[in-house]
C-alpha cells in the first residue's frame, strides 16, 4: 500500500455536506463534552463546511464567540455563505493552518475539532498549537476516525474501488484512518505534551433504505473522486455492481446498516 492520501479539500467543499447528517451525532458528543458557558471564546479547527462550530452558533445565538479555521479557502467560503444566509451571530471563519494558529497563547476557553487532526501535515505541531491557544483549565474535544476496517462506510467502497486497479497501481489508503490503529493517538498526545485526557470510542451507524442509496451518496459526496476519475466507465460499473452486492450482506430489517467507529478525545489543559 502507498502512503495514506487525502482529497483536494477545495474541490470537496462542493460536496462534503452530503455526509453531515450522518456525522451530526458526533458533533453533538463533542459539543456536550465542552461544558460551554455564556461569553466563552471557542475555536473550531479544520472547520470544513462549518461543523461543529455552526451547531454551536445556532444553539448559542451570539452568546459565545466562535472562530472557525481551515486551510481550504473554498471551505471557508461555504461557511461564510451559511453564516450570512442563516443570519448567525458571533462567528467568524478564517483561512488558517492548524499548525500555525494566528492567535495569542491562552486566547480561547474551548477548542473543538471534528475529523481534522488525522489530516494535518504535522499532527503533533497542530495539536501543540491547539493546546497553546487554550487557556489553562480550558477544555478541548476532538475526534478522529478509527482504523479503516472499523469504518464500514469508507472501507467497503474503498476496498472494492481498489480492486478495479492493477496490483502495481493501487490507490493509497485514505488518510482519514491514519490515527486509528491502537496506540497511535496516545503517542500523538504524549508527543504534544498533553497529560490530562481521555479517549471514548463512538459508533456512528449510517442507515440507508437500500444499497443504491449508499452508492448515490458515495458518488454525490465525491468519495475517493481522485481515484475513480482514473477508471474507465466499464470499471466504474464493475465497482458499482460489486458495492451493491457487498451491501446486501449488511441488510437488516430491509435497510442497509453501516457501522463506523470514531474516537472522541477530551483534553483538559493543566497548565503545560
Ligand X SMILES: C[S@@+](CC[C@H](N)C(=O)[O-])C[C@H]1O[C@@H](n2cnc3c(N)ncnc32)[C@H](O)[C@@H]1O
Give 198: exposed, middle or buried? Use CB within 10 Å, 0-12, 13-18, 19+: exposed
Distance CA 151, CA 149 (A): 6
Distance CA 211, CA 207 (A): 10
The reply on whether position 161 binds ligand X by CB under 6 A is no
Please identify, using beta-carbon distances, which residue of 48 and 211 lies nearer to ligand X.
48
Q: What is the DSSP letter of 121?
A: S
* Spatial contact of 112 and 31, defined as CB atoms under 8 Å apart: yes
Q: Cβ 111 to ligand X, closest distance in Å?
A: 12
Quote the cell numbers at residue 98. 492548524
* Spatial contact of 135 and 221, defined as CB atoms under 8 Å apart: no
Among 22, 60, 120, 208, binds ligand X (CB under 6 A): 120
Q: What is the DSSP letter of 33?
A: T
Distance CA 12, CA 9 (A): 5
| DSSP letter string, 41-55 | EEEEET-TTTTTHHH
* C-alpha distance across the termini of the chain, in Å: 38
Please identify, using beta-carbon distances, which residue of 99 and 212 lies nearer to ligand X.
99
- The residue nearest ligand X at its CB is 48
User: Which x/- pattern, by CB under 6 A, does the window 196-235 give for ligand X?
Assistant: ----------------------------------------
Considering CB under 6 A, how many residues would be counted as binding ligand X?
Answer: 19
Please identify, using beta-carbon distances, which residue of 5 and 246 lies nearer to ligand X.
5
According to DSSP, the residues that pair with 69 across neighbouring strands are 45, 94
Q: Which of residues 91-110 bind ligand X (CB under 6 A)?
A: 97-99
Q: Cβ 83 to ligand X, closest distance in Å?
A: 15
Q: Cβ 153 to ligand X, closest distance in Å?
A: 13
Among 57, 78, 91, 116, binds ligand X (CB under 6 A): 116
Q: Cβ 51 to ligand X, closest distance in Å?
A: 4
User: Which x/- pattern, by CB under 6 A, does the window 46-75 give for ligand X?
Assistant: xxx--x------------------xxx--x
The reply on whether position 121 binds ligand X by CB under 6 A is yes
Is the Cα torsion angle 44, 111, 117, 155 positive or negative in sign?
Answer: negative
The reply on whether position 145 binds ligand X by CB under 6 A is no
What residues make contact with ligand X under the rule CB under 6 A? 9, 46-48, 51, 70-72, 75, 97-99, 114-116, 119-121, 126
Amino acid at each position: 500500500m502507498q502512503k495514506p492520501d487525502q482529497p483536494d479539500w477545495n474541490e470537496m467543499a462542493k460536496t462534503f455536506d452530503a455526509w453531515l447528517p450522518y456525522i451530526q451525532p458526533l458533533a453533538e458528543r463533542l459539543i456536550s463534552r465542552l461544558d460551554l458557558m455564556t461569553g466563552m471564546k471557542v475555536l473550531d479547527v479544520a472547520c470544513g463546511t462549518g461543523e461543529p462550530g455552526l451547531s454551536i452558533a445556532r444553539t448559542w445565538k451570539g452568546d459565545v464567540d466562535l472562530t472557525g479555521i481551515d486551510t481550504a479557502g473554498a471551505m471557508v467560503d461555504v461557511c461564510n455563505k451559511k453564516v450570512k444566509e442563516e443570519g448567525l451571530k458571533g462567528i467568524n471563519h478564517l483561512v488558517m493552518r492548524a499548525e500555525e494558529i494566528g492567535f495569542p497563547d491562552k486566547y480561547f476557553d474551548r477548542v473543538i475539532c471534528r475529523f481534522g487532526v488525522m489530516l494535518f501535515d504535522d499532527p503533533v505541531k497542530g495539536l501543540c498549537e491547539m493546546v497553546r491557544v487554550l487557556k489553562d483549565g480550558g477544555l478541548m474535544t476532538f475526534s478522529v476516525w478509527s482504523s479503516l476496517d472499523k469504518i464500514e462506510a469508507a472501507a467497503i467502497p474503498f476496498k472494492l474501488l481498489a480492486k478495479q486497479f492493477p496490483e502495481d497501481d493501487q490507490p493509497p489508503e485514505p488518510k482519514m484512518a491514519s490515527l486509528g490503529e491502537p496506540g497511535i493517538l496516545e503517542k500523538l498526545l504524549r508527543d504534544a505534551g498533553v497529560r490530562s485526557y481521555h479517549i471514548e470510542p463512538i459508533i456512528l451507524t449510517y442507515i440507508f433504505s437500500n444499497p443504491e442509496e449508499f452508492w448515490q451518496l458515495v458518488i454525490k459526496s465525491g468519495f475517493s473522486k481522485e481515484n475513480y476519475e482514473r477508471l474507465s466507465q466499464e470499471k466504474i460499473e464493475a465497482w458499482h455492481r460489486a458495492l451493491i452486492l457487498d451491501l446486501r450482506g449488511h441488510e437488516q430489517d430491509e435497510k442497509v446498516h453501516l457501522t463506523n467507529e470514531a474516537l472522541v478525545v477530551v483534553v483538559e489543559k493543566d497548565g503545560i
